[in-house]
Amino acid sequence: MSLATVETLEVMIGQPELQARIEALAHEIHDQYAGEELLLVGVLKGSFLFLADLCRHLGPNVTVDFVQVSSYGDRKESSGVVQIRKDLDINIEDRHVLLVEDIVDTGLTLQHLRELLAVRRPKSLRVVSLLSKPDARLHHTQIEWVGFEIENEFVVGYGLDYAERYRNLPFIAKLHQAE
């Protein structure tokens, strides 16, 4: 007989706190670029809600593109291998590029993406990540703006999944599993 796994969610960052922080980040980003054209590059799929909310506070000089890489599959641990699944549509040469990440964990994905985009000679390349787990870092890489630093725990919601579920939650939650 197989036992079902019971998953429970514990809210870690509620919707009002998330939205207030995103608005504050957008103001800092807006000031940094001071009216210059900015290309937001969302890292799929996890950043889709963050990017959507962030860009609504950034005014008119913004374009959007997406890149997708994979390293986790359906598991909670990284495989250590980063593969490009979907490349950018837009040529980033001589453009201000802001990479929009959902979460930086070991830093492997971000390190890889920074290297990949830097060789395409953007005018500038910066990173905003909604979440960061500093205690999990194995690959040190620069992040210009971080929404929230969190403990080294697996979280879901607001774009982040477990086996493709929970992305649509409007808050960030810890995922607990019991048999």
Instruction: List active site positions.
Output: 105
| Beta-sheet pairing, 6-13 with 172-178 | antiparallel
d(CA 106, CA 134): 8
Smaller CB separation from ligand 5GP, 121 or 176: 176
CA 104, 108, 109, 112 dihedral sign is: positive
* CA–CA distance, 2 with 55 (Å, rounded to integer): 46
Does 72 participate in binding ligand 5GP (rule CB under 6 A)? yes
Based on the shown chain and the rule CB under 6 A, indicate whether residue 70 belongs to the binding site for ligand 5GP. Answer: no
The dihedral formed by the CA atoms of 148, 150, 153 and 154, expressed in degrees to the nearest 10: 0
Contact pick of 155, 169, 172, 173 for ligand 5GP (by CB under 6 A):
155
**Residue 46 binds to ligand 5GP (criterion: CB under 6 A):** yes
> Residue 45 CB, nearest distance to ligand 5GP (Å)?
8
Does position 132 interact with ligand 5GP (CB under 6 A)? The reply is no
Name the minimum Å distance from CB 53 to ligand 5GP.
Answer: 17
Between 36 and 115, whose beta carbon lies closer to ligand 5GP? 115
One-letter amino acid at 53 equals D
**Cβ-based nearer residue to ligand 5GP, 61 or 68:** 68
Nearer to ligand 5GP, 30 or 136 (CB): 136
Spatial distance between the Cα atoms of 175 and 78, rounded to a whole number of angstroms: 17
* Contact assessment for residue 156 and residue 176, using Cβ atoms and an 8 Å cutoff: no
H or E element, residue 26? helix 15-33
Which of 103, 128, 146, 169 touches ligand 5GP (CB under 6 A)?
Answer: 103
Q: Is residue 98 involved in binding ligand 5GP (CB under 6 A)? A: no
The site for ligand 5GP (CB under 6 A) is made up of 46, 71-72, 78, 102-110, 154-156, 160-162
